Chains A and B, each alone.
Chain A
Amino acid sequence: MSYPELVTSALTALKSNVLRTLLTMLGIIIGIAAVILIVSLGAGATQTITNQISSFGTNLIVVIPGSLSQGPPSGLGGSVKTLTPEDGEAILGSGRVVNVEVVSPMVTKPTKVVAGGVDVSATVQGVAASYQILQSVDMAQGEFLTEDHEQGLSRVAVLGADIAVDLFGEGAEPVGKSVKIDNRSFRVIGVAAPKGGSPLANPDESVYIPYTTAMKVLLGQNHVQAIMVQAVDPKLIDQTMEDINTLLSERHKIADGDDPDFSLRSSKDALATLDTVTGLLTALLAGIAGISLLVGGIGIMNIMLVTVTERTKEIGLLKAIGAKRRDILTQFLIESVVLTLVGGSIGIVLGISLAYVITQVVNIPFIVQVSSIFLAVGVSAGVGIGFGFYPAQRAAKLSPIEALRYE
């Protein structure tokens, strides 16, 4: 018999007991829907987090004081006071670090900012003029900090979008007005455009002032809490990090084999960590989906065995009119594969629909990977063949007289 004829007759057999067919397929439907859903949500979530990390800059390196092997530094800076703005100048200007474009030293202080009797908690960030390029700060009003402000220790401030609204109200024009940071007056020269929160920091709740002013006036210190370095080409970031390591080790007189008093981080590291975590999660969830498919497959095998027993007389008749073992085997195998493929298709549609609804609700990108659909189809067919083989073989091996005599 030809395959289209076998598929048609398999569909006829499955249609003859719709409820049983549906119940049998349930395991496969749930398993396949779970696979599609998990892969889709995983891809959506990964993309969301990757976007957030990337918005921080994929070519960004952060130098922070303290060594990772000495335990985590207590916040940015901690007690190690050896990282200075001069280190930053050396990274940019010495010519010994390849692939460097922009460098900004950074100090931070969480403090109160006051204007016209309103006070707000903000993260005051002392940064260089180049920070605007580093973090792509768009301006809603006025200007960002300039190098003149750095050199002149100017008391000027750029407000984050939320801070500007909290202090001056919606639609106000704070540029030129005065705010008090730590009881010292600063002139507002600009307001940053809203950027949205990231898991690392919320730039909308920051106030930017020149790092020189922050170090001398607010903090009274000569060291910085971080140096942010932007590489030109993200692919060469490993070489850049190595160069920075060599340069700073020399400047800080770190002997070979000693722990350095600084450490380097890049967003690439964060992405790698993310990959590991999502990989583990995906493996775990795929395991659960696999168990569901296994249970579904056992259900298929069970029902196919019942079907073979129920249709013993039919098998006897087919053998009497000339069906060979192979004909019977193929017929029942195709029946179980059609069963799992129909179940798999329902599962794919269900999985995609659920993924769409969930991604809309939790507001992550809706991504359906074509590979996951191919995988689902392959797995369904595989389950059908794998778990359908034993019942089909049992049918094929029936002796024609036993089968004809069966009541």
Chain B
Amino acid sequence: MTQTNGHSPIIALRDITKTYITGTNEYQALKGISLDIHEGDFVAIMGPSGSGKSTIMHILGALDSPTSGQYFLKGKDISTYNEDELAEIRNREIGFVFQAFNLLPRTTVFKNVERPMMYAGIPPSEREKRAMDALKLVHLEEKAQNLSNHISGGQIQRVAIARALVMNPAIILADEPTGNLDSKTAHEIMDFFQKLNQDGHTIILITHEHDIAAFAKRIVMLKDGLILSDKENKQYVVS
């Protein structure tokens, strides 16, 4: 494993490929991706549709396993984990923020944030404290008992962020988190991600919008299943 700055990367992808087989058709979505992400990084992964952006998100999020290659998460190769082992990785190490359908319908904000801790078997008193702390962080502690379908789009994304933080994961994986928001709210959410990053959280952002990617410290461009470029974001400004 390559060593950088004397620290092991929190995520290390080594020659990851992913081939989808539908009937007799084979489609190689990823053709050999190697990537290191360190603690405290804020990486935007960009690319046009068909570039392998979604596939890399699935693999980074432990939602799917690569066809070949290795995925080291905190030094452990998880590329061969079975479905339930991956579920545990997702539960403990990855905080998801999706574009849409982030929250359970007919369920309160509090219960949504509490849910990952239930799967982790954390006792109720601790769950309550941690869920309320996370909601305070996103300034939504007053909405804790509101139903998830009775809050605004920006608030939904903030609840999702609170839920992503509640298990104190290795990375926060945000898949087009502002895709359903107006640009003002989108920028508010991105400011929020920046603040989390400054507090030390590692964030991976999947997006196709340049002005959203501009909030990240590092931009990885994908094209046709390969990394086209991997650069520091020169326009990175802390708002």
Residues of A at under 8 Å CB distance from B? Answer: 1-2, 5, 9, 12-13, 16, 313-314, 317-327, 399-401, 404
Contacts and interface: CB of A to CB of B under 8 A. Distances in A.
Contacts of B106: 12-13, 16
Interface in B159-202: 163, 167
A328 B106 CA distance: 18
Interface of B: 58, 61, 63-64, 83-84, 87-88, 90-92, 96, 98, 101-107, 115-116, 118-120, 163, 167
Interface centre among A1, A322, A400, by most B CB within 10 Å? A322
A320 B167 CA distance: 13
Given A1-B119, A317-B102, A324 B63 contact: no
A205 B90 CA distance: 87
B118 A5 contact: yes
A321 B163 contact: yes
Given A401-B58, A401-B64, A404-B98, A322 B104 contact: no
A12 B118 CA distance: 17
Contacts of B107: 9, 12
A322 to B, nearest CB: 2
B58 A322 contact: no
Q: Is the interface of A mostly helix, strand, loop or mixed?
A: helix
B96 A321 contact: yes
A314 B105 contact: yes
Given A12-B107, A16-B106, A401-B64, A321 B101 contact: no
Contacts of B167: 322
A325 B88 CA distance: 11
A16 B107 CA distance: 11
Contacts of A404: 63, 98, 101
B83 A322 contact: no
B115 A321 contact: yes
Nearest to B58: A401
B123 to A, nearest CB: 10
A309 to B, nearest CB: 15
A314 B91 CA distance: 16
A253 to B, nearest CB: 88
Contact of A317 (B64, B84, B101): B101
22 contacts: A2-B118, A12-B106, A12-B107, A317-B103, A319-B87, A320-B61, A320-B96, A321-B91, A321-B116, A322-B88, A322-B92, A322-B116, A322-B119, A323-B119, A324-B83, A324-B87, A324-B119, A325-B84, A400-B63, A401-B63, A404-B63, A404-B101
Contact of B90 (A313, A314, A322, A399): A322
A13 B106 CA distance: 8
A322 B102 CA distance: 14
A60 B222 CA distance: 99
Nearest to B121: A1
Given A16-B106, A404-B63, A404-B98, 4 more contacts: A322-B119, A322-B120, A324-B84, A325-B83
Contacts of A1: 118-119
A325 B107 CA distance: 21
A400 B116 CA distance: 15
B54 to A, nearest CB: 9
Nearest to B115: A321
Nearest to A326: B84
Contacts of B84: 324-326
Contacts of A322: 87-88, 90-92, 116, 119-120, 167
Nearest to A311: B105
Contacts of A399: 64
B205 to A, nearest CB: 16
A320 to B, nearest CB: 5
A16 B149 CA distance: 13
Contacts of B115: 318, 321
Nearest 4 interchain pairs by C-beta? A322-B91, A322-B119, A324-B87, A1-B118
B105 A324 contact: no
A321 B98 CA distance: 11
Nearest to A13: B106
A320 B63 contact: yes
B90 A317 contact: no
A327 B121 CA distance: 12
A317 B120 CA distance: 16
A60 to B, nearest CB: 68
A317 to B, nearest CB: 6
B161 to A, nearest CB: 13
Contacts of B116: 321-322
B104 A314 contact: yes
Contacts of A313: 101
A191 B115 CA distance: 83
A3 to B, nearest CB: 12
Nearest to A316: B101
> Looking at A1, A319, A320, A324, which has the most chain B CB atoms within 10 Å of its CB?
A320
